[in-house]
Structure 1
Amino acid sequence: MVHSNRIRRIGNKEVGTGRPTYVIGEIGINHNGELANALALIDAAADAGCDAVKFQKRTPEICTPRDQWDIERDTPWGRMTYIDYRHRVEFGEDEYRAVDEHCRERGIAWFASPWDTEAVTFLEKFDVPAHKVASASLTDDELLLALRATGKTVILSTGMSTPQQIRHAVEVLGSENIVLLHATSTYPAKAEELNLRVINSLEAAYPNVPVGYSGHETGLQTTVAAVAMGACAVERHITLDRAMWGSDQAASVEPGGLARLVRDIRTIETALGDGVKKVYASELGPMKKLRRVQHTLPAEGVTTTA
């Protein structure tokens, strides 16, 4: 049964049951603080046929525990304190203005996962079409309420969360304007821990909410399988090169793989069909040639669809 209210809007596209899979290329901080990397990743996502790219937006002083600020670490830019590193990889208004302009030129949507309420205010200045809740933020009621107040579609990842925590988050956000994404928050995630059947469990638990999949595995086949199981939206981390520095790179998809992933998702959508068994006109020739006992077919039993 198709639920008419299992549809959400992100910009000029509908997401949900019976609609094309909404494909999100998660750039996150895989740009490593370099605008040129971000623009190249936007190009890769647009060229592959993605619907959107996603970033992460943090206010470092809020999101970084105070006791970690002064811990030094080695980075590609030399040894620096953790708080300085967080600032180094964080885009500000100038960078996001360039991102916004480039996405408009390429005809692809962009939004982000805000990690604090100040980041929500920052993103709203760009009138993004949606907001994302990272799995790590699912229990942050203050953030969820700020996102609900925007009136935008909110995409909620459910990794590292219990059914009770998910239920509470949905109640805080309200179910009318959200999309749920099944996820396993391990980077990279093992196949035996992906538990793709949770997609169907979430569909059953939230009959009026579109359900998708956020994958952190290596390889593409399990993400394609998620679409075959009904995921209406798919998110995968993307990178220019998995060997680049950064914690998310290894579980990310490179441009060539991203193009194959979107191609295979579109093929799966076409192949799934409508579930109505029929005899295609293309089968009549083989039927005549191969079937030994012929029954007369009523006219309505044959479709001319190729």
Structure 2
Amino acid sequence: MKEKCLIIAEAGVNHNGNINIAKKLCLAAKEAGADVVKFQTWVTEKIITPNVKQADYQAENTGNTQSQFDMLKALELSYDEFREIKRYCDEIGIVFASTADEPDSLDFLVALGIPFIKIGSGEIGNIPYLRYMGTKKNPVILSTGMSSLGDVEISLRALRDGGATDITLLHCTTSYPCPYDDVNLKAMDTLRNAFGIEVGFSDHTEGIEAAIAAVARGARVIEKHFTLDRNMEGPDHKASTEPNEFKAMVSAIRNVESALGNGIKQPTCAEKEISQVVLKRIVACRDIAKGQVIREEDICVKRNDVGLPANTWDMVLGSISHRDYKKDEGIEL
């Protein structure tokens, strides 16, 4: 991963099966400051049986009772359409990525030139597929929604068995939208400490606060659902971020990154300049003659632009004055 946090606009299926909307999502993500715009790639018949019902949030957001199969089929884009989307991303200058939901789509995306393999939370524990992903030797970003620490360990082992070495874990709560009291950002620390690898956050909350806090807590990747309009029809729009809000999130994240600094506690250049007239210095609180032993009653601490800093108090006490001092003159040795 690069040094700054990687910000992924999760376009997902918010194109509603329409390539023109997909391209608009790419351009909007670019303009909002995302590093990557990411979709989902699958062949419906290869990922789901015909009669699986929609999740409650999907049924509520789509307003119908169709099966997941029918919903996904309507949202499926072809490989040729993804080739066109990738070309468009290259033209406008944003990185294209997509989550492959089955092996054939993974092969297609790797050949297309994705920068990393993104694995959705639904593949946690899918040992044969995770091992196959590992054989690609691409960097991997694994979402960890719906899982325990043990589940993550099993999935990591499968990826490494296949040959994956560059793996980032995204803490995630699979809930759309996710209530703030279910976010549990401290789980990022647990993942980092348990496995010793980089972590990030896949954010399903409404608003941008959780993503910003995750960066302050050390997230190296932020993934956030992205839509042109939350009022559009489709399963994920309502839990997604619109362009202006996403842009505000990106700006806040970049500011937080700048504010984190390097961890070295020392005065900045601006502070050094200000300290010349703000930090307290040792001054004469009455006239002092040359050759006089400096006693506590001879000196005090005040703001002054000349003189020894207050932290040299013990060194000055008992020393011999090397010249005459008037009241309020800064003491020097």
TM bucket (normalised to shorter chain) is 0.7 to 0.9
* Residues 80 and 215 of structure 1, relative CA distance in 2, 3 Å threshold: closer
Q: Which residue, out of 210, 222, 235, partners 1:247?
A: 235
Residues 239-266 of structure 1: CA deviation (Å, up to 9, x unaligned): 0011111221111110101111111111
Higher strand content, 1 or 2: 1
Q: Tell me the distance in 1 between the aligned counterparts of 2:182 and 2:61.
A: 31
Structure 1 position 34 matched with structure 2 position 18: yes
Shift of 1:297: 9.3
TM-score (norm 1): 0.84
Q: Which residue of 1 aligns with 2:29?
A: 45
Shift of 1:61: 1.1
Alignment of 1:187-198 (within 5 A): 187-198=176-187
Alignment of 1:190-209 (within 5 A): 190-207=179-196, 209=197
**Number of aligned residues:** 277
* Residues 199 and 98 of structure 1, relative CA distance in 2, 3 Å threshold: same
Letter in 1 for 2:34: C
Q: Which moved more, 1:173-182 or 1:190-199?
A: 173-182
Are the counterparts in 2 of residues 74 and 80 from structure 1 also a CA contact under 8 Å?
no
Q: Could you say what secondary structure the match of 2:264 adopts?
A: coil
Q: Tell me the distance in 2 between the aligned counterparts of 1:200 and 1:75.
A: 33
Structure 1 position 140 matched with structure 2 position 126: yes
Q: Tell me the distance in 1 between the aligned counterparts of 2:261 and 2:238.
A: 35
Residues 92-147 of structure 1: CA deviation (Å, up to 9, x unaligned): 02210111101111222122111111221232331222111101111111221221
Please identify runs of 4+ aligned residues in structure 1 that moved more than 4 A.
73-76, 78-82
Are the counterparts in 2 of residues 182 and 199 from structure 1 also a CA contact under 8 Å?
yes
Are the counterparts in 2 of residues 57 and 115 from structure 1 also a CA contact under 8 Å?
yes
Are the counterparts in 1 of residues 204 and 225 from structure 2 also a CA contact under 8 Å?
yes
Q: Percent identity?
A: 32
Structure 1 position 93 matched with structure 2 position 82: no
Shift of 1:289: 3.0
Q: Which residue, out of 85, 98, 121, partners 2:107?
A: 121
Are the counterparts in 2 of residues 211 and 233 from structure 1 also a CA contact under 8 Å?
yes
Q: Tell me the distance in 2 between the aligned counterparts of 1:140 and 1:196.
A: 25
* Residues 287 and 105 of structure 1, relative CA distance in 2, 3 Å threshold: same
Structure with the greater relative contact order (CA < 8 A, sep ≥ 6): 1 or 2?
Answer: 1
Q: Which residue, out of 276, 279, 285, partners 1:291?
A: 279
Q: Which residue, out of 160, 163, 166, partners 1:177?
A: 166
Gaps of 5+ in 1: 1-13, 299-306
Q: Which residue of 1 aligns with 2:288?
A: none
Q: Which residue, out of 241, 261, 264, partners 1:273?
A: 261
Q: Tell me the distance in 2 between the aligned counterparts of 1:290 and 1:143.
A: 63
Who wins on radius of gyration, i.e. which is larger? 2
Q: Tell me the distance in 1 between the aligned counterparts of 2:278 and 2:60.
A: 69
Gaps of 5+ in 2: 54-58, 282-307, 313-333
Are the counterparts in 1 of residues 216 and 260 from structure 2 also a CA contact under 8 Å?
yes
Q: Could you say what secondary structure the match of 1:279 adopts?
A: coil
Are the counterparts in 1 of residues 280 and 309 from structure 2 also a CA contact under 8 Å?
no
